[in-house]
């Protein structure tokens, strides 16, 4: 009896292990296929991935691998052009521009990550509740959303940042307030479509709770457009942060934030072109990278274009 039980248990364990191996192998093949569809023959997607990877590395390690301190001045080296000692030149008090651009990547991408995290979470909560429950809940939440959407986004962000006071923290708050209504609208539209599908009706029929239906059935099938929009908005959030810093409402000196650097460099544009060019180039490449990534993800996640 014991020997038979042991044999059956061993066979069951072997079958389970074999099933797990097949599942892992299937996942690897699916991942390889997805990567081929996303990158093979699509050089813009490859370029986007390389740019984003570069700036993520700078975000993580920029201040540590920078050749000089981004904040320490060296008056004797003020406004020196690009050279072997300072590849991107120096600013008006001798700080290394390359080091400041590298350190600024962490600030710009960090602010964008915080802004969009808050905006997406709040947008999903408001838009999901509005689309799922409908009626008075939908009308009330959408009128609040429309109140924020009634103002141009950048103008509203400027007004909020100016009211709170010039600082990077207040800029982050202002941009989060501006961005969440767009995600609320986007999620609401997706939920309104998905909640009418047959499997959602079946979940209602078997007595599943509203929370379970939203979490397990509706949101997973509504999130693809949000991922695409989130990727594109990363670039716009970085650009908005730089814009507010450029007009003095965001990061304050001596912060190496790119918009603040461009603001400080405009006085010296004619005599030190590198001072304004390299922060502007970093900002441009970051926005291009995220926009290209958003376009690539949109095509990849769209079943009408994915197999092409």
Q: Is residue 306 one of the residues assigned to a domain?
A: no
pLDDT at 11: 57
**Are 236 and 268 contained in the same domain?**
yes
pLDDT at 5: 47
In whole angstroms, give the CA distance from residue 84 to residue 73: 18
DSSP code for 215? I
pLDDT at 200: 77
Q: Which two tokens stand for residue 253?
A: 């000196």
**Are 201 and 59 contained in the same domain?**
yes
Pick the more confident residue, 133 or 209.
133
- Is the pLDDT assigned to residue 191 strictly greater than 60? yes
**Are 90 and 228 contained in the same domain?**
yes
CATH number of the domain within which 192 lies: 1.10.3720.10
- Is the pLDDT assigned to residue 225 strictly greater than 90? no
- What's the total number of domains in the chain? 2
Phi (first) and psi of residue 244, to 5 degrees? -70, -35
pLDDT at 245: 94
**Are 249 and 277 contained in the same domain?**
yes
In whole angstroms, give the CA distance from residue 130 to residue 141: 6
**Are 34 and 7 contained in the same domain?**
yes
In whole angstroms, give the CA distance from residue 195 to residue 219: 10
Q: Can you give the residue range of the structural domain that contains 71?
A: 48-301
Task: Report CA-CA distances (Å) from 249 to 92, 154, 266.
Answer: 22, 12, 17
User: How many percent of the chain have pLDDT more than 90?
Assistant: 54
Unique residue bearing structure tokens 């960090």: 110
Q: Is residue 307 one of the residues assigned to a domain?
A: no
- Is the pLDDT assigned to residue 141 strictly greater than 90? yes
pLDDT at 248: 92
Sequence-ordered list of residues with C-beta below 8 angstroms from that of 291, at least 6 positions apart, any chain? 48, 232, 235
Q: Is residue 252 one of the residues assigned to a domain?
A: yes
Q: Which two tokens stand for residue 247?
A: 């007009």
Q: Is residue 308 one of the residues assigned to a domain?
A: no
Query: Model's pTM, two decimal places?
Result: 0.84
Pick the more confident residue, 35 or 155.
155
Rounded average pLDDT over 35-53: 83
**Are 250 and 203 contained in the same domain?**
yes
**Are 240 and 182 contained in the same domain?**
yes
Q: Is residue 15 one of the residues assigned to a domain?
A: yes
Pick the more confident residue, 197 or 6.
197
Mean pLDDT, the chain, integer: 86
Q: Is residue 131 one of the residues assigned to a domain?
A: yes
pLDDT at 279: 95
Q: Which residues pair with 90 in a beta bridge?
A: 96
**pLDDT per residue as tens digits for the range 66-83:** 999 999 999 988 999 999
**Are 18 and 62 contained in the same domain?**
no
- Is the pLDDT assigned to residue 181 strictly greater than 60? yes
**Are 240 and 279 contained in the same domain?**
yes
Q: Is residue 69 one of the residues assigned to a domain?
A: yes
Q: Is the dihedral of CA 59, 64, 65, 71 positive or negative?
A: positive
With H, G, I as helix, E, B as strand and everything else as coil, classify residue 208: coil
**Are 22 and 153 contained in the same domain?**
no
Rounded average pLDDT over 161-171: 93
**Are 12 and 90 contained in the same domain?**
no
Unique residue bearing structure tokens 């239906």: 213
Band (pLDDT 50/70/90 cuts) for residue 53 is very high
Choose the weakest-confidence range: 59-63, 154-158, 174-178, 286-290: 59-63
**Are 80 and 174 contained in the same domain?**
yes
- Is the pLDDT assigned to residue 274 strictly greater than 90? yes
């Amino acid at each position: 009896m014991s020997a038979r039980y042991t044999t059956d248990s061993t066979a069951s364990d072997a079958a389970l292990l074999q099933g797990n191996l097949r599942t892992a192998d299937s996942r690897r093949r699916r991942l390889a296929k997805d990567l081929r569809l996303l990158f093979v023959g699509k050089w813009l997607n490859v370029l986007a991935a390389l740019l984003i990877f570069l700036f993520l590395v700078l975000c993580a390690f920029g201040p540590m691998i920078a050749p000089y301190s981004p904040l320490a001045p060296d008056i004797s080296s003020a406004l020196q052009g690009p050279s072997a000692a300072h590849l991107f030149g120096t600013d008006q008090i001798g700080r290394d521009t390359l080091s400041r651009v590298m350190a600024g990547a962490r600030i710009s991408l960090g602010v964008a990550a915080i802004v969009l995290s808050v905006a997406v979470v709040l947008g999903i909560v408001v838009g999901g509740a509005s689309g799922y429950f409908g009626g008075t809940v939908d009308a009330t939440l959408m009128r609040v959303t429309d109140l924020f959407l009634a103002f141009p986004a950048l103008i509203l962000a400027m007004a909020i940042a100016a009211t709170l006071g010039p600082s990077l923290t207040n800029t982050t708050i202002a941009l989060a307030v501006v961005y969440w209504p767009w995600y609320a609208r986007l999620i609401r539209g997706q939920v309104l479509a998905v909640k009418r599908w047959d499997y959602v009706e079946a979940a209602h029929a078997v007595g599943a709770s509203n929370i379970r239906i939203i979490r397990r059935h509706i949101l997973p099938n509504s999130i693809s457009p949000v991922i695409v929009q989130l990727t594109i908005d990363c670039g716009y959030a970085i650009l908005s942060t730089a814009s507010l810093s450029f007009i003095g409402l965001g990061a304050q000196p001596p912060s190496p934030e790119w918009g603040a650097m461009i603001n400080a460099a405009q006085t010296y544009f004619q005599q030190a072109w590198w001072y304004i060019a390299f922060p502007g180039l970093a900002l441009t490449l970051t926005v291009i990278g995220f926009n290209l990534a958003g376009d690539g993800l949109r095509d990849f996640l769209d079943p009408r274009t994915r197999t092409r």
